[in-house]
Amino acid sequence: MARLVCFALSALLLVAEPVSAVTLTDMQGRHVALTALPRRIVSLVPSVTELLFALGADDRLIGVTDYCDFPSAARRKPSVGGMVAPNLEVIVALRPDLVVATDAGTRRETFEQLSRLNIPVYLVHAERMAQVMDVISRLGEITERQAEAGALKARMTGRIEAVVKAVGARPRPRVLYVLWPEPLIVPGNEAIVTELISLAGGDSITGREPHDYPRFSLEAAVARAPEVILLARHGTGSGPIPRDRWDALTSLPAVKAGRVYAVDGNLVHRYGPRVVEGLEELARRIHPEAFQ
């Protein structure tokens, strides 16, 4: 009788234990076991949300963050709250097959809590354009949109190559990119913005600073004599960063030449399909003569 009870309990446990039919490896090398390719995805990354729409996989997108504001249809998806600390109760209620997050924006505690709730988490990361293309390929495979992913990458690559060709033989002016004015935050050597400035024909004066977006002193920025200053504006419909403090620095080559510009941070900071638009905007600011 005891053996029969043990057998019955074992059978119940086997039924309760999910059978892994698919194992994904995310961009941190973590193995993510799923019963099938996901049909219900929650995105905690605005870039991923944009890419899923671009791939035509938005029918699988059942939840997004408050910051997932493009395309406009993304705002009609259920929100799970912020990117850093989303509402776990809302995520659980949506019954996702997979949550896509990033180690660069979501707290580790969130990953751990989702794991305890048996909700698979797939991590993405992109600080270089090659990694952006990798994200697109991975999302294409996860959503069975490989052909769409290939086409999107080809279109983006063509536009990148056109920019590089247009600016390639020109002098590379010193560029100061201002992510945030006070405290002064700039792109360092781990930021995708640094590579975009280089592709656009510029030389970021903070591109060799450690980390992705370090703090920087105004005195150090002045000492490096930027020839172009780019001020990022944030959020859909937001205005540019006030220019007063920069226009007052009349000794700077960029100010003397009237080369202080506002740029759309949404295009440059996110690694969605619009990042090529951001690259083109940077190139037009850094080398307007190449785009007459």
Domains of the chain, with CATH numbers?
A: 18-125 (3.40.50.1980), 171-291 (3.40.50.1980)
Mean of the per-residue pLDDT values for the chain?
A: 90
Distances (CA, A) of 291 to 4, 162, 200, 240, 282: 80, 11, 12, 23, 12
Check whether 263 has a pLDDT greater than 60. yes
For residue 14, what pLDDT band results from cuts at 50, 70 and 90? very low
Of 16-20, 81-85, 233-237, least confident by mean pLDDT is 16-20
Check whether 2 has a pLDDT greater than 50. no
For residue 17, what pLDDT band results from cuts at 50, 70 and 90? very low
Provide CB contacts within 8 A for 156, sequence distance 6+. Answer: 132, 133, 273, 275, 276
Q: Residue 25 corresponds to which tokens in the numbers above?
A: 């490896």
Segment 96-111 shows an average pLDDT of 88
Check whether 142 has a pLDDT greater than 50. yes
What is residue 258's predicted lDDT score, i.e. its pLDDT? 95
Q: Which amino acid is at 120?
A: P
Segment 54-81 shows an average pLDDT of 96
What is residue 85's predicted lDDT score, i.e. its pLDDT? 85
Check whether 235 has a pLDDT greater than 70. no
For residue 109, what pLDDT band results from cuts at 50, 70 and 90? confident
Segment 172-176 shows an average pLDDT of 98
Q: Residue 255 corresponds to which tokens in the numbers above?
A: 């100010």
Check whether 240 has a pLDDT greater than 80. no
What is residue 237's predicted lDDT score, i.e. its pLDDT? 56
What is residue 20's predicted lDDT score, i.e. its pLDDT? 57
What is residue 103's predicted lDDT score, i.e. its pLDDT? 83
Strands 31-34 and 22-25 turn out to be: antiparallel
pTM assigned to the model: 0.88
What is residue 242's predicted lDDT score, i.e. its pLDDT? 79
What is residue 5's predicted lDDT score, i.e. its pLDDT? 34
- Give the per-residue SS3 of the chain: CHHHHHHHHHHHHHHHCCCCCEEEECCCCCEEEECCCCCCEEECCHHHHHHHHHCCCHHHEEEECCCCCCCHHHHHCCECCCCCCCCHHHHHHHCCCEEEEECCCCCHHHHHHHHHCCCCEEEECCCCHHHHHHHHHHHHHHCCCHHHHHHHHHHHHHHHHHHHHHHCCCCCCEEEEECECCCCECCCCCCHHHHHHHHCCCEECCCCCCCCCCECCHHHHHHCCCCEEEEEECCCCCCCCCCHHHHCCCCCHHHHCCCEEEEEHHHHHCCCCCHHHHHHHHHHHHCHHHHC
pLDDT tens-digit readout, 33-45: 999 999 999 999 9
Check whether 183 has a pLDDT greater than 80. yes
How is the beta sheet containing 98-102 ordered, strand by strand?
Answer: 61-63, 41-43, 98-102, 121-124
| Cβ–Cβ < 8 Å for 159, 280 | yes
Rounded percentage of the chain residues whose pLDDT exceeds 70: 91
